[in-house]
């Protein structure tokens, strides 16, 4: 089956190539239809990107008419001079690795639990997916109130069940702020992999499970030898998107901790924003943005390749 699906795009591509070679003005019609989208793309995506790349080689406050060329100094500063940028990079890496494992594992577990025909199952699916629909700023504010050490739900519940020794200023404490923020991220993002895995699970033919059961495979073996391989393509999409989105984290950190306490929860996204828009270091902020973009692009390669092949 896989061979068939792969052969189709190849023949399509070769036909398209031969048509292009023999193109007459009349055959350019499809390109006229593509032109508006292409112009839009060049104007609002490519041009701003190249513009920010250009700015990243300058020292500029974002307001003055003149800029000072500094070459690669802004990039050097990120890796060798700016303690906060390095801390933010480390935080990004921790956040990304954790995002790769925890929300996706929970998403898979939920998908497995909800992949059955039961009365009211759609309600449960909706409940678990719902946090993913909420704006992250709203999520951040709600969880900030829940974490409030004076009247928040979390400490109130801990006190009520006799675990008051665990009560603390979750977002004020240097040791817990990052983890507490990440927990919110898990809550907000677990629904998306769940939906993708649910779709993937429903694409695995039931014959495979029946055959495995006839061969005496137990539940774990069926999961390991049938379900996981059957979700191979879904894994690529889920994990790639998890990594890409995790590395771009901004909203939750900005809303919940503002990068604090101190600088403890700064990530590259917030640090780029602070530099560009609050410290009037547009050149340096652009350099941080490009470092982020390059890292995300590298991580996006498996996803892009997979999607291109499909």
Partner 1 sequence: MRSVTGFTAMAAIALLGHGAQAQDIRFFTNFDANAVSNWEPVLEAYQEQNPDSNVELETVAGSGAAIYPDVLRTSMAAGDPPDVFFMWGGEIAGPFIDAGQVMDLAPYYEQYGWEETLTPWTVEAITRNGKVYGVPFNARGMGFFYRTDIFEEHGIEVPTTYEEVENVCRTLKEAGVHCATFGGKFGWHPMRLLDYFLETRCGPELHDELNRLEASWDQPCVVESYTMLKTWVDEDWLMPDFLNISPVDARMPLYLGEAAMIIEGDWFESVARGDGMTTENLDFFVPPTGHEPVRYSAFPQQWMIPAGAENPDASAEFIDFIISPEVQNEFPEPFVASATVGVTPDCEEWPLTCKWREVITSQRAIYPPTDQAFTKELMDSFFEVQAGVISGQTPPKDAAVLMQERAEEWKASKT
Q: Which stretches of the chain bind partner 1, using CB under 8 A? A: 61-65, 144-145, 147-151, 168-174, 177, 256-258, 260-263, 274, 277-281
Least separation, in Å, of the C-beta of 185 and partner 1?
Answer: 16
Distance CA 276, CA 286 (A): 7
Q: Which is nearer to partner 1, 129 or 170 (CB)?
A: 170
Q: Which is nearer to partner 1, 278 or 308 (CB)?
A: 278
- Per-residue tokens: 153: 């739900």
* Whether 242 contacts 103, CB under 8 Å: yes
Q: Which is nearer to partner 1, 246 or 256 (CB)?
A: 256
Least separation, in Å, of the C-beta of 203 and partner 1?
Answer: 44
Q: Which is nearer to partner 1, 234 or 286 (CB)?
A: 286
Q: Which is nearer to partner 1, 8 or 150 (CB)?
A: 150
Query: Three-class SS string for 237-262?
Result: HHHHHHHHHHHCCCHHHHHHCCCCCC
Distance CA 149, CA 151 (A): 6
- Per-residue tokens: 74: 């802004």
Least separation, in Å, of the C-beta of 15 and partner 1?
Answer: 46
Distance CA 105, CA 108 (A): 5
Q: What is the DSSP letter of 68?
A: E
Q: Which is nearer to partner 1, 4 or 278 (CB)?
A: 278
Least separation, in Å, of the C-beta of 60 and partner 1?
Answer: 10
Distance CA 234, CA 199 (A): 9
Distance CA 43, CA 309 (A): 28
Least separation, in Å, of the C-beta of 57 and partner 1?
Answer: 17
Least separation, in Å, of the C-beta of 68 and partner 1?
Answer: 12
* Whether 256 contacts 140, CB under 8 Å: yes
């Amino acid at each position: 089956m896989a061979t068939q699906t792969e052969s189709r795009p190849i023949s399509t591509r070769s036909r398209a190539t031969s048509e292009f070679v023999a193109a007459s003005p009349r055959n350019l019609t499809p390109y006229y239809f593509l032109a508006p989208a292409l112009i839009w793309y060049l104007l609002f995506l490519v041009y701003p990107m190249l513009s920010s790349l250009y700015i990243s080689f300058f020292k500029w406050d974002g307001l003055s008419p003149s800029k000072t060329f500094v070459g690669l100094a802004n990039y050097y500063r990120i890796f060798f001079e700016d303690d906060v940028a390095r801390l933010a990079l480390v935080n990004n890496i921790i956040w990304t690795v954790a995002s790769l494992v925890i929300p996706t594992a929970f998403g898979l577990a939920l998908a497995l639990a909800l992949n059955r025909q039961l009365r009211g199952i759609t309600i449960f699916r909706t409940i678990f997916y719902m946090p993913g629909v909420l704006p992250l700023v709203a999520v951040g504010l709600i969880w900030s109130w829940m974490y409030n050490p004076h009247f928040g739900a979390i400490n109130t519940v801990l006190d009520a069940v006799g675990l008051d020794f665990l009560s603390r200023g979750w977002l004020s404490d240097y040791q817990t702020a990052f983890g507490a923020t990440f927990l919110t991220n898990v809550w907000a993002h677990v629904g998306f992999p769940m939906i993708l895995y649910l779709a993937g699970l429903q694409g695995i033919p039931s014959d495979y499970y029946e055959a495995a059961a006839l061969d005496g495979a137990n539940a774990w073996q069926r999961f390991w030898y049938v379900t996981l391989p059957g979700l191979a393509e879904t894994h690529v999409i889920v994990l790639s998107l998890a990594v890409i989105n995790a590395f771009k984290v901004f909203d939750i950190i900005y809303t919940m901790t503002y990068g604090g306490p101190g600088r403890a929860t700064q990530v590259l996204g917030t640090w780029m924003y602070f530099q560009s828009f609050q410290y009037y270091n547009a050149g340096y902020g652009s350099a941080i943005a490009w470092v982020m973009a390059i890292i995300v692009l590298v991580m996006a390669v498996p996803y892009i390749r997979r999607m291109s092949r499909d």
